Structure 1
Amino acid sequence: MNTTAAQPHEVLVLGAGYAGLSAAIQLAARTRKRGDLRVTLVNPYDTFTERLRLHMTATGQETAEMNIRELLDGTGAVFVRGRVTAVDADAKTVRVDDDRILRYDTLVYALGSIADTVTVPGADEHAHTLDGPQDAALLAGRLAGLDAGTVVVAGSGLTGVEAAAEIAEQHPDLKVLLLGRREPGADMHPKAKAHLDTALSRLGVRVRSGADVTKVLPDSVELADGSGIPAAAVLWTSGTRLSPLAAAAGLTVDERGRIVTDNTLRSVSHPDVYAVGDAAAVRQNYGVMHGTCQSGMPSGVHAALTILRVLAGKKPRPFRFGYYHTPVSLGRHDAVVQFTHPDDSPRRIVLTGKRAAQYKETVTAAPWPTFARMKKMPASGALWPHGGRHTRIRSTK
């Protein structure tokens, strides 16, 4: 490694989501006794956001709090609280919101996606989102102050389904309407979709598919057919967007703004930049991966191990990942788990009801023990306990 103890190799990780935190902990824990590499993690919040539980936060339920500094304790990684405002890929610097400039030798870009509230007029001003705990808490306060009325959940994807079910169960006095262009669970096996439909009906969630919201007003939404629907509150889960920072930095991005990587997660235009999680356009033999916790954590770990291999003068190994399941909660005591082929297409195997709810709870809780194991990980290898078919992460030695 071409570094010295006096001037360690600086690895900067942007974003402490599932992918970014996995990369930071794995890399720092493996090098904490060496002194020739320093890991800095940048994130706007002190706490790790369990995105898989934000629908619970949005209905006033308490969830466990994971402090990022405590998660990094003992690894040697440095935490910087701040929002990234610019990346200079040529100068190898990053600016955070208080105008501090951070230098890097290697960058791990893990700035995740947020709800796309900019393409539909009024969505940004009048709709709630589940982008983070603060946004979810705002919705929880709004719902708690309603005695009656309709809550419109715009977006019939799995985030919308989970949120609609949770709101209906926790606030039975409110009417919940799930709007979307497609039917909920459209990509699932018929058995899984049937259970999902039954659960939504049991909870009193009305579903309207083929609906395209064209405008959000303070007390209603307008649809493409010209009709309007009164709404005491609107939750926007229809589509996501990415930060424009990567494109502005001159990194090669795809049409969605994701950093285009090679098969080792390195930017095709700037090999000193690694992209993981939602921020990366990673091509597998079945196509480009879509961002989930299931793929985010393994990609973060793989990036960390690849950085070590490259710094040691070794050839990086390709990242291979296959999806395994799609767990969807339907309130606190019901769920559906759709097991999948590696390309995320549905298999015939489906788990429903209380067993599925227990399964989903186990998967949701997995980051806690996983991060703890990462902190204690020796440099000889790592086993990936859950998620996709990327189950064995090989040694860097």
Structure 2
Amino acid sequence: MRVVILGGGYSGLICALRLARRTRGQVAVTLVSASPWFVDRIRLHERAAGSEPVKRELAEMVAGTGITLKIGRVTRIEPRGEIILGDERLPFEQLVVALGSQVDVNAVPGVREHAFTLEAASAGALAERLPAIAARNGRLVVIGGGLTGIEGASELAEAHPGLQVTLLSSGDLGGDLSETGRAHLRRGLGRLGVTLEQAQVQRLQAGSVELGDRSLSFDACVWAGGFVVPEIVRQSGLPVNARGQVLVDPYLRALGHENIHVVGDAAFVVEPPSLIPMGCKTAVPMGTYVGESLAQLSRGQGSEPFDYLNLGFCLSLGRRDGIIQFYGKDGSPLRWVFSGRLGAWIKEAVCRGVVGTLAAERLGLCISAWRKTGRKLSPEVAQQRRLAA
């Protein structure tokens, strides 16, 4: 069986490693990545603050596993069984789309031209500019009240005390946190000197954010206002939603395409109540699940639907503060949180654990695990969904 996996991020890499390990050469596994380097995305706000990232080559991370690594940018996905990679055509019997997401720089006019993002290249460019801006007490505006914007604003404010940092959000900040978590969030941002603003951004100009009835000047701007899936996925003809995420069934197969699995940020499970948030915490379980499912398929075995229980999330507020927010089984935030230095320590342990999980998988150790809801599909319903897909 020939399996092609598109994307060398968290989900694509763990999927390739698990599949190769479970099949031991009985399946031809090809991993395709646009870059030869593994990007640890959950640390890109640290990169923007000036820290030097640990460089990891994908070739080293898959060495000795039997995985064929191809570096290049996919120009077309042919769902009927072929990938176009430059001048090369890669046939497949099973395809895994793990292309992740990217910052939506087209959401508001002027973002592409006048804002940095917390993507790898842009974060590096921002890191070079900020020291000079901070030295003259310049203003940095971070737009986006989600986890990316909060972590970015706090990290940059802590790394550059002379910087005037404003965090601009269109809605209530920390909406996914409990009251205890929101209170700590505001205290933490206040301690770092981050000014909070709530307004709807109309457009970005050179040096200013237009807010309808007023404008906000800046020396640098970071856009963290949402994510979309790479356009190549939408162009493939697979069924997608407004963000470009592929609509998948409970087995993470693209609707209407049983030989195409989609994992990580590029996937949207259409069956309620299986709302799976974007992020590393879901990318690794999804990639692990599909790697295991394809290994079972190669042996003529079936698999259970993907099952994931969202237990909460962790949020850094610089290097010495953080929030660990827990969720109940109904998806609502619990009142109590871990915060302060303990929260920062747990957050750091989680970040290290992600890379550690990938390294362990390569060595034959299965430490990727997640909580499940325990819901089961009856054989009749499972068969109906397979036929519908």
TM-score calculated relative to the size of structure 2: 0.91
Query: What's the offset of the Cα at 1:84?
Result: 1.6
Once the two structures are superposed, the pairs formed by residues 12-91 of structure 1 within 5 Å of their partners are 12-32=4-24, 34=25, 36-90=26-80
Q: Percent identical across equivalent pairs?
A: 36
- Is 2:115 the partner of 1:123? no
Query: What's the offset of the Cα at 1:246?
Result: 2.6
Which residue identity is paired with 2:35? Answer: Y
Where does residue 97 of structure 2 map in the other structure? Answer: 109
Query: What's the offset of the Cα at 1:344?
Result: 4.0
Query: What's the offset of the Cα at 1:264?
Result: 1.0
8 Å CA contact 2:23–2:295 kept in 1: the answer is no
- Please, which moves more after superposition, 197-206 or 102-111? 102-111
Q: Distance in 2 between matches of 1:267 and 1:63?
A: 34
Which residue identity is paired with 1:38? Answer: A
Task: Tell me the secondary structure at the aligned position of residue 350 of structure 1.
Answer: strand
Which residue identity is paired with 2:116? Answer: H
Q: Distance in 1 between matches of 2:330 and 2:44?
A: 26
Task: Tell me the secondary structure at the aligned position of residue 145 of structure 1.
Answer: helix
Moved over 6 A (4+): none
Query: What's the offset of the Cα at 1:66?
Result: 2.3
Question: Which of 134, 145, 158 pairs up with 2:147?
Answer: 158
Where does residue 205 of structure 1 map in the other structure? Answer: 194
8 Å CA contact 2:49–2:155 kept in 1: the answer is yes
RMSD of the TM alignment (CA)? Answer: 1.7
Higher helix share: 2
Query: What's the offset of the Cα at 1:48?
Result: 1.3
Deviations 1:347-368 (A, max 9, x none): 1230010011000000010122
Where does residue 379 of structure 2 map in the other structure? Answer: none
8 Å CA contact 2:97–2:260 kept in 1: the answer is yes
Once the two structures are superposed, the pairs formed by residues 305-320 of structure 1 within 5 Å of their partners are 305-320=292-307
Q: Distance in 1 between matches of 2:192 and 2:372?
A: 34
Where does residue 216 of structure 2 map in the other structure? Answer: 229
Runs of 5+ consecutive residues of structure 1 not aligned to the other structure: 1-8, 392-397
Q: Distance in 1 between matches of 2:335 and 2:289?
A: 30
Question: Which of 172, 183, 188 pairs up with 1:183?
Answer: 172
- Is 2:203 the partner of 1:219? no
Q: Measured at CA, do residues 102 and 167 of structure 1 come closer, stay the same or move farther in structure 2, by a change above 3 Å?
A: same
Runs of 5+ consecutive residues of structure 2 not aligned to the other structure: 375-389
Say how many residue pairs are matched: 372
Task: Tell me the secondary structure at the aligned position of residue 202 of structure 2.
Answer: strand
Question: Which of 123, 128, 131 pairs up with 1:144?
Answer: 131
Deviations 1:43-83 (A, max 9, x none): 11122111111100001112322221111011110111112
Q: Distance in 1 between matches of 2:55 and 2:144?
A: 28
Q: Distance in 1 between matches of 2:17 and 2:368?
A: 14
Q: Distance in 1 between matches of 2:71 and 2:371?
A: 31
Task: Tell me the secondary structure at the aligned position of residue 288 of structure 1.
Answer: coil
8 Å CA contact 1:14–1:42 kept in 2: the answer is yes
Deviations 1:252-310 (A, max 9, x none): 22232211111111112111100000011124653431211111101001001111222
Query: What's the offset of the Cα at 1:241?
Result: 1.1
Task: Tell me the secondary structure at the aligned position of residue 107 of structure 1.
Answer: strand
